[in-house]
Structure 1
Amino acid sequence: MADGFVRPPHAGLAARQDLSAADVDLFARTMFGKPVEPFLREAIRRSDGRCRVRLFEAALAGVGVDQRGAVEGSPVPIAVINGGADPLIKLDYISSVEYANLWEGRCHVLEGVGHAPFWHAAGEFNAMVDRFLRTCSRPG
């Protein structure tokens, strides 16, 4: 799992149970860029830190679905859309996965966009998802 991240995700704020106000701000900026809407900070502050800890404990223990194996073996069309300026994800790693049915044969990257392309480039992201859904819903 760690191969797909710039820094191992379990070593950061996403895996901590307790977050200070400064931690919440840093986490929000890392996930959503700047500016961060107040409701996003509040949602992070209210989230259950036990869930964050458990999520990463389970992932490190290999509990759950092997996501790489799932996308490499699934005949279901898969769209991968990431931000080109994502500070967390190794885009080269994501592109190296041998997807069984990758939409348009490639991972899509929205240039200049961070970790939340659905948020900071909603129009472009939504148009791409719409195109994906229309492509997949056409009779074969």
Structure 2
Amino acid sequence: MTYARIHQLVESHDGTRIYAEAVGNPAAQAIVFIHGYACASFHFNRQFTDAGLVNRLYMIRYDVRGHGQSDAPLEEAAYASIKHAQDFKSVVNAFGAVKPILAGWLYYAGVVAADLVAAYGPDYILGVILLGSFPQKMMHPSIATDHAATLRPGLRSSDAREFSQVVPGFVKACFAPGYEVPSEDMAAFMGILFALPSEVRIFSGARTQDPEPLTVAFKGGKLPYVAIHGRQDRLVDCSKVRAWLRENWGEVEFHELEGVGHAPFFEAPERTNALILKFVGKVKGYDNS
């Protein structure tokens, strides 16, 4: 069956307009894809054009505030934890979804689950898929690679020259060494970065979180997780993520994809999409492989 892609500007709680899209069967399980820091929702094109996902899921994606086609407030308070939770809820409500699964990429997105659980409780979402990401913002210093640390000052710099010099390196670091990023995608990835106001780049990564409600939810068996990482990730050390999860949370379903970097959904969409469907089936209680 063919499903038309729907897009709209959704007004969040504080009036910020959030660009969002949806495709698939509205009666199926909803899954909300959230992009990472200095990225945009179009990065998930290889999911939104996958017939297996489109026919079995109701997929939603949106540009996080400050990014892409969404509004970009320039006050630090606009990027607080509660704002991210409210944006997610506003988008979900706009498309009529109930109890969605969150799929988050990179430093910015996987941690939105902590924002949501702190704001609305663990029953608001059905589960979480980490795509090269991690569950709590506080983890980042301990699991980031040395290469990520060298890029961070330039990415947060308000100096245009310093920022522009680090952009190509950051985009390439999102993929495994030797991975050939199509030229049009490379240009689009860099374009999103160059469009970001320096205030957004700085404030986006500065918010604080209360991670305790999320930890309690996971340990209480109320929020299933799956982590999908690339073994050749140059920004996040997946072995450290796995070790942190085991030490602090216990066993979490964890997949390391060989030959893949920080963007498993982009570099290895067939493998990643199959794991997404398998996880949805697992939390829904049916075989979706």
Task: Call closer, same or farther: CA 1:48–1:9 in 2, change over 3 Å.
Answer: farther
Q: Per-residue displacement from partner, 1:42-82 (whole Å, max 9, x unpaired)?
A: 11211233222123333xxxx11338x73575221101011
**Structure with the larger RCO, 1 or 2 (CA within 8 Å, 6+ apart):** 1
Q: Per-residue displacement from partner, 1:13-49 (whole Å, max 9, x unpaired)?
A: 44334421x3221111112454252211211211233
Match 1:50 to one of 199, 209, 214: 199
Corresponding residue for residue 230 of structure 2: 83
Q: Secondary structure at the match of 1:57?
A: coil
1:108-119 alignment, distance < 5 Å: 108-119=255-266
Corresponding residue for residue 211 of structure 2: 66
Task: Call closer, same or farther: CA 1:126–1:100 in 2, change over 3 Å.
Answer: same
Q: Write the distance in 1 (CA, Å) between the matches of 2:193 and 2:175.
A: 11
Task: Call closer, same or farther: CA 1:45–1:120 in 2, change over 3 Å.
Answer: same
Task: Call closer, same or farther: CA 1:82–1:71 in 2, change over 3 Å.
Answer: farther
Task: Call closer, same or farther: CA 1:131–1:87 in 2, change over 3 Å.
Answer: same
2:265 pairs with 1:124: no
Q: Write the distance in 1 (CA, Å) between the matches of 2:149 and 2:202.
A: 11
Q: Write the distance in 2 (CA, Å) between the matches of 1:80 and 1:86.
A: 13
Q: CA deviation at 1:101?
A: 6.4
Q: Secondary structure at the match of 2:226?
A: coil
1:128-139 alignment, distance < 5 Å: 128-138=275-285
Q: Write the distance in 1 (CA, Å) between the matches of 2:215 and 2:269.
A: 25
Task: Call closer, same or farther: CA 1:101–1:51 in 2, change over 3 Å.
Answer: farther
In the TM superposition, structure 1's runs of 4+ consecutive aligned residues that sit over 6 Å from their partners are none
Q: How many residues get paired? A: 130
Match 1:26 to one of 164, 169, 180: 169
Consecutive unaligned residues in structure 1, runs of 5 or more: none
Q: What amino acid is aligned across from residue 211 of structure 2 in structure 1?
A: D
Match 2:156 to one of 15, 18, 22: 15
Which is higher, the Rg of structure 1 or of structure 2?
Answer: 2
Task: Call closer, same or farther: CA 1:129–1:14 in 2, change over 3 Å.
Answer: farther
Q: What amino acid is aligned across from residue 200 of structure 2 in structure 1?
A: C
2:155 pairs with 1:6: no
The alignment yields a C-alpha RMSD, in angstroms, of: 2.6
Match 2:181 to one of 18, 35, 56: 35
Q: Secondary structure at the match of 2:225?
A: coil
Q: What amino acid is aligned across from residue 265 of structure 2 in structure 1?
A: F
Q: What amino acid is aligned across from residue 16 of structure 1 in structure 2?
A: S
> TM-score when scaled to structure 1?
0.76
Q: Write the distance in 2 (CA, Å) between the matches of 1:66 and 1:9.
A: 23
Aligned-pair identity (%): 19
Task: Call closer, same or farther: CA 1:16–1:54 in 2, change over 3 Å.
Answer: same
Q: Which stretch of the first structure deviates more once superposed, 44-53 or 76-85? A: 44-53
8 Å CA contact 1:6, 1:89 repeated in 2: yes
Q: What amino acid is aligned across from residue 95 of structure 1 in structure 2?
A: R
